[in-house]
Structure 1
Amino acid sequence: MASSLVLDIGGDIGALVIHTGPDLDSAEIELSPVGFDHQRFHNQVHARHLPEGVRHNAVFPRVQAGEYTVWRDHSTAHGTVLVEGGRVAEYTW
């Protein structure tokens, strides 16, 4: 069974796919604009069944262009990612 998603990108709106391992299945991953740690939003990691196998990722289908902090937990950043309008950014956990 293949998974499909609808992304709402264009103009200054992009999307972000965060690739994880199966250990994060069902976990929530938070993002915030760099410098605005309190403006967090999240999405959940799901197993996606693709022709080449099962992949685990969190998909943010509509993200304002900019640089974002990816949070490991409430107080620890995992890294940063740049989201560009009209494009799909990818981040590996």
Structure 2
Amino acid sequence: MLNIGGDIGALIISTPGHLHGHEIEVSPADEPDRRTHAAVRARYVRGGVTFCVVIDALPQGRYLIWQQGETALAEVEVRGGSVAEYTWPEAAVPGRTLVSV
């Protein structure tokens, strides 16, 4: 069960399996120092396993997803009463910065 409803939503971040156990942080976009985190966990679903972070009880608004501390990887919108989803890029490994070539 997720704690959502009214102005409260949730965020699911799907990740590659090699991130299992890693902590991923999110923060309100306008308050980057106010972070919360959760670990990537294996979720057993029909047909196999998926790896993701589930963060519920988030007040609706825009959130930054952090890649190891100081690098914001993405910005997502969480709406009250619903679940926002984001897929972690395969090339984004915690502790490394994405670069364009």
Specify if TM > 0.5. Answer: yes
| Residue of structure 2 aligned with 1:18, choices 13, 18, 33 | 13
| Residue of structure 2 aligned with 1:61, choices 42, 45, 56 | 56
Between the two proteins, what is the percent identity of the paired residues?
45
C-alpha offsets along residues 8-37 of structure 1, whole Å, 9 cap, x if unaligned? 111000011000010110110000101211
In 1, the alpha carbon distance for the partners of 2:56 and 2:35 equals 15
Residue in 1 that maps onto 2:42 = 47
Q: Does 1:78 align with 2:70?
A: no
SS at match of 1:37: coil
> Which amino acid counterpart does residue 68 of structure 2 have in structure 1?
D
C-alpha offsets along residues 32-65 of structure 1, whole Å, 9 cap, x if unaligned? 1012111011011001111121100000121110
* Length-normalised TM-score, structure 1: 0.91
**Runs of 4 or more above 3 Å deviation:** none
* Length-normalised TM-score, structure 2: 0.84
Kindly report the root-mean-square deviation, in angstroms, between the aligned alpha carbons of the 2 structures: 0.7
Runs of at least 5 residues in structure 1 that lack an aligned partner in the other structure: 1-5
> Which amino acid counterpart does residue 12 of structure 1 have in structure 2?
D
Runs of at least 5 residues in structure 2 that lack an aligned partner in the other structure: 89-101
Q: Does 1:37 align with 2:32?
A: yes
SS at match of 2:77: strand
